[in-house]
A and B are shown apart, each in its own frame.
Chain A
Amino acid sequence: MSFFLASFSSALHLVWSLDPELLTIVRVSLTVSGVATLLAALVSIPAGFYIAFGQVPGKRALITLLNTLLALPTVVIGLLVYTFISRRGLFGPLDLLYTQQAMIIGQIILIVPLITALTIAAVNRVDERYRQTARTLGADTWQTGMVVLREGRFAIVAAVISAFGRVISEIGISMMLGGNIKGFTRTMTTAMALEYDKGAFTLAVALGLVLMALSLGINIVFNLIQGRGGR
């Protein structure tokens, strides 16, 4: 118990003193996961909206496939991307392995199905009467779509936040594609795993605290958005 308390106390001190190494790790994590979430959202929201709103052949099969992909383990994605970007892979000449770009690619693959599936659910939950009302008031298909998107906006933003929470806390992709290089691809989760291996718990606990604080912040925002959407 005293060991845990000592580690916890040292970790708090690291956070409080804004330790440069800790800050670098947090910055890399936020950058990689933030960019991945942003790019995934740019692809997934329109895709999800189109699947839900448009006349897409094989819609049911597509939704089933997306739901299946939600359960894809991060190490499988890491392995898959690795086969493409390793030196012998198709994109080997691009020299992406063990870069932040590689981590971003992996994380995008991880959350595209998540944001798409949640966007489909969000659009489907929008009351059918919004479409009818928009159409009877003279809206064309595009304008009707914008009405539906507007009414489902809180649920869609919640989907993006949920996806960010997923990538900031994943470890498999970051470890396999980033390589855990200090100051470059070392994220909070990979650093914690390394510190644990070394038996140095102080930084691991400090990073754990930051991750938990971020997670708490994300959940607070998530709840606020859901609350507004539910009004």
Chain B
Amino acid sequence: MILYHLDRISQCYAGRTVLAIDSLEIEAGRIYGLLGPNGAGKTTLLKLLALLEPPTTGRLSFAGCEVAYTRSALLALRRQVVLVDQHPIMFSTSVGGNVDFGLKIRRIDKEKRQRIIDEVLETVGLRPFKAAAAHELSGGETQRLALARALALSPAVLLCDEPTASVDVENQAIIAGLLQTINSTRGTTVIFTTHDRLQAAALAQQTLVLENGQLAPTTYENAYPCTLTQGADGRWYALLPTGAALALAIEPPSGPSSATDARVYIDPEKITLHRHRDHRDGRDGQEAGTTLSGTVILLMAENDRIRVVVNIGLLLVVLMDRADYQQHPPAIGETVLLEVIAEAVTLLNAGRR
């Protein structure tokens, strides 16, 4: 079932367009990871999905009905969606009182409210803190309480703005686990923003990438700021922050005469990984594109693929077929060669970072 349908949505602040989405559909019951650099429009999109702001233009449908931005209609819809802020703010009352807020305004009787409060606080591991002042919780506990506060309302959609950005590793794991549990046990649609590509890959069933307010046809992995420069041979190169040069198959759109800032995306499925020894034995000197050397730092099994993270000065993700991996399995710490063909490189937005 399609839960959200966005049709030519744009959002402008002070005359500046911060979000422009032609079309987007979000299915019910799935986990979505929303990726993108700072200022890409992730939080703006979450606020639109939370029905906290009307779009400047375009139509937003929720559960098959176009959202009418009237006070009464919005209230009914908004009670099905909860947004958990990146830095959640707690009402100046107890931990239990914070969870109670949404239940009380829904006129749920006291006995039932207490049962729900106990249940959700138990789920997030904050039951012993029920009577404590909410302002006295640590950052990770506050984030968990914010999730409990949302969870108590059994929303159809849970929107989380960088839920693990400001918590320690232990709480990151707890929160990621909670999001998965909420989705699997309650069927809640979860949409979260993150900068952590690996977390998005591990947690989300589908990832959406925003670049300059627009949906980008990438997986966000391997998207880097770079500088475009023209070599002595007349070809254009993208200089990554490491200084490593990648040959580009495309011309910069505006044809600048000097160096230009841009973002470049390297398709992780189009990178070929060679173990150093195998490559040396098998190379024929006919390679196109660029060959980079790096060290394997992470291996993750992911359905029929293996995600290999290679440190080339920055972290580059390579997606290997399980069969390829089994034939030539790289080991962690091993130096490997990466063959990046020109077709693997896409210029996202010349002139802007």
> Which residues does A use to contact B, with CB under 8 Å?
127, 129-130, 132-141, 143, 147, 150-151, 231
B99 and chain A: residue at smallest CB distance: A137
Decide: A138 and B106 in contact? CB cutoff 8 A. Answer: yes
A139: chain B residues within 8 A (beta carbon) = 101-102, 105
User: In the complex, what distance in Å separates the CA atom of A136 from the CA atom of B85?
Assistant: 10
User: In the complex, what distance in Å separates the CA atom of A138 from the CA atom of B107?
Assistant: 11
User: In the complex, what distance in Å separates the CA atom of A183 from the CA atom of B122?
Assistant: 65
B159 and chain A: residue at smallest CB distance: A136
Contact with A along B94-110 (1 / 0, CB 8 A): 00000001100110000
Decide: A150 and B92 in contact? CB cutoff 8 A. Answer: yes
User: In the complex, what distance in Å separates the CA atom of A202 from the CA atom of B82?
Assistant: 67
Closest Cβ of chain B to A154, distance in Å, is: 9
Decide: B52 and A137 in contact? CB cutoff 8 A. Answer: no
Decide: B52 and A132 in contact? CB cutoff 8 A. Answer: yes
> Among A127, A133, A136, which residue has its beta carbon within 8 angstroms of that of B78?
A136
User: In the complex, what distance in Å separates the CA atom of A143 from the CA atom of B106?
Assistant: 11
B92: chain A residues within 8 A (beta carbon) = 150-151
A228 and chain B: residue at smallest CB distance: B92
**10 tightest CB-CB pairs across the interface, nearest first?**
A137-B102, A129-B89, A138-B79, A136-B83, A143-B105, A138-B102, A140-B75, A136-B82, A139-B105, A136-B50
Decide: B91 and A151 in contact? CB cutoff 8 A. Answer: yes
Is B149 positioned at the interface, with any CB of A under 8 Å from its CB? yes
Apart from A127-B89, A133-B89, A138-B75, 20 more pairs, CB < 8 Å:
A129-B87, A129-B89, A130-B89, A132-B52, A133-B85, A135-B52, A136-B50, A136-B82, A137-B82, A137-B101, A137-B102, A137-B105, A137-B150, A138-B105, A138-B106, A139-B105, A140-B71, A141-B71, A147-B101, A231-B135
Is B81 positioned at the interface, with any CB of A under 8 Å from its CB? yes
20 intermolecular pairs with C-beta atoms under 8 Å apart: A129-B85, A129-B87, A129-B88, A130-B91, A133-B85, A133-B89, A133-B91, A136-B50, A136-B52, A136-B82, A136-B83, A137-B82, A137-B102, A137-B149, A138-B102, A138-B153, A139-B101, A139-B102, A140-B75, A150-B91
A138 and chain B: residue at smallest CB distance: B79
Q: Given A130-B89, A130-B91, A147-B91, check contact A135 B78 (CB 8 Å).
A: yes
A139 and chain B: residue at smallest CB distance: B105
A134: chain B residues within 8 A (beta carbon) = 101
Question: Which of A130, A136, A151, A231 lies at the interface centre, i.e. has the most chain B CB atoms within 10 A of its CB?
Answer: A136
User: In the complex, what distance in Å separates the CA atom of A231 from the CA atom of B106?
Assistant: 29
Decide: A136 and B105 in contact? CB cutoff 8 A. Answer: no
User: In the complex, what distance in Å separates the CA atom of A30 from the CA atom of B341?
Assistant: 86
Contact with A along B58-92 (1 / 0, CB 8 A): 00000000000001000100110111010111011
User: In the complex, what distance in Å separates the CA atom of A40 from the CA atom of B279?
Assistant: 85
